[in-house]
Amino acid sequence: MKSAIDAILKGTGVTLNGPNPFDIQVVNDQLYARILTQGTLGFGEAYMDGWWECDAIDEMIAKLLRADVARHLRPSIGLVASTLKARLWNTQNKQGALKVGRTHYDIGNNLYRAMLDTRLTYTCGYWKTAQTLDEAQEDKLDLVCKKIGLQPGQHVLDIGCGWGSFAKFAAEKYGARVTGITISQEQLALGKELCAGLPVELRFQDYRDVTGQFDHIVSLGMFEHVGYKNYATYFAHVKRLLKPGGLFLLHTIGGIRSVRHTDPWIEKYIFPNSMLPSVQQIAAAAERQKFVMEDWHNFSADYDKTLMAWHANVEEQWETLKDQYDERFRRMWNYYILSCAGSFRARQNQLWQIVFSPNGVPEGYNSVR
């Protein structure tokens, strides 16, 4: 079993029990069989169970992804099950969409307050000139406002508003009115507190149930939960809700190829019923609504920096969290954050901000960077 794993790792730069911080230190020899039979799900669960250690999980994952080690592994039962479920059912229907709210976003505001910036922005920061996480998130929110040409008094719909970071920023800095929707009760409760006294309305609502007309629409880090079977529906609702002269900004993580499911470990422990869209999938859904794609901005490397800042914050604040979350949760969360950082570092995951207009900007769109 060990020889099979050694062969898979050959050429990646990662070794078993090696001297480098990105090498895998084996604690339980049953790890080899677990990887070969359960793939990425078994590898992630084995870390949660303490079967292996690594001082630099982020760099280890980056090296494995650059070498495409997955091609050497047989499809696991978990991967086959995820694929079949995605094909047979619309797991992101109105009822299924609520699962990620309960599983991930409702696990405790204390964790997110410790991990995120002061505005509680759970999406990629913009590090072009920023030196700190707070600066990167402020710059990202400002970038969004500039990209949609936000003006005082305009009404913006924020699909997947989180704790209201964009809503609060747009209201305070740009004098906008914002309606935000979320499927997390914990986010909603705290978000209402944070946005109190501002022209901001936050709701517990599915995007398919929103009515009205908005000057602009933004969606920051929510599209990953929509699912390929709902992309056409999503864009149709955006088109219906957006005023003719408005702009729609979609901020999403994306993949370099079209898929219909996510990694089995991510599906089970972090983001159930999620998947990353591809360029092709987004373009096809937008094309059906005859949207004009005005701008496509990729700043994926900034997510690596953002995730590493989040990881540092959690580690620094763990003493205040350990009574609420056990050690297995800590290992799970570390693996989630660091493996995601590695995937962006290897450029396997992308971060896109895409600006669409329903009819084309008459004088042309001026890209903002």
> Do 61 and 122 lie in a common domain?
no
3-class secondary-structure state, position 251: strand
Total domains present in the chain = 2
Q: How confident is the model at residue 165 (pLDDT cuts 50, 70, 90)?
A: very high
Distance of CA 231 to the CA centre of its chain: 17
Residue 258's CATH number:
3.40.50.150
* Same domain for 281 and 217: yes
Q: Residue 87: its pLDDT value, please?
A: 58
Using alpha carbons, list the distances in angstroms from residue 222 to 3, 67, 207: 42, 30, 10
- 19/135 same-domain check: no
Residue-level pLDDT at 142: 98
208 shares a domain with 276? yes
Q: Among residues 353, 90, 316, which one has the least CA distance to residue 225?
A: 90
CA distance 152 to 97: 33
Q: What does the pLDDT read at residue 74?
A: 60
How many other CB atoms sit within 10 Å of the CB of residue 75? 10
Please report the pLDDT score of residue 261 as a whole number.
82
CB 178 within 8 A of CB 201: yes
- Residue in 54, 124, 161, 340 annotated catalytic: 340
What is the predicted pLDDT for the residue at 40? 93
Residues 308 and 197: their CA atoms lie apart, in Å, by: 34
Whether residues 50 and 99 share a domain: the answer is: no
What is the pLDDT confidence band of residue 89, given thresholds at 50, 70 and 90? low
State whether 305 and 211 are in the same domain. Answer: yes
**What pLDDT sits at residue 75?**
60
Q: Are residues 68 and 103 in the same domain?
A: no
For every residue of 202-235, DSSP letters joined together read EEE--GGG--S-EEEEEEES-GGGT-GGGHHHHH
CA–CA distance, 120 with 102 (Å, rounded to integer): 18
The two tokens of residue 222 are: 């929510």
The whole domain housing 296 covers 92-357
* 340 is an active site residue: yes
Q: What pLDDT score was predicted for residue 94?
A: 76
Question: 44, 74, 104: which is the final residue of a domain?
Answer: 74
CA–CA gap between residue 237 and residue 248 (Å, rounded): 12
Supply the angle between the helices 301-321 and 327-345 in degrees, to the nearest 10: 170
190: nearest Cα among 124, 132, 119: 119
Q: Which residues, other chains included, contact 323 with Cβ-Cβ below 8 Å and sequence gap of 6+?
A: none
Q: Is the pLDDT of residue 31 over 70?
A: yes
Position with higher pLDDT, 70 vs 146:
146
pLDDT band at 260 (very low <50, low <70, confident <90, very high): confident
Residue with tokens 């992804």: 65
* Whether 29 and 151 share a structural domain: no
Q: Of 144, 136, 125, which Cα lies nearest the Cα of 295?
A: 144
pLDDT of the residue at 88: 54
In 3D space, the residue among 17, 26, 22 whose CA is nearest the CA of residue 55 turns out to be 22
For residue range 196-251, what is the model confidence (pLDDT) as tens digits? 999 999 999 999 999 999 999 999 999 999 999 999 999 999 999 999 999 999 99
Residue with the bigger pLDDT between 262 and 156: it is 156
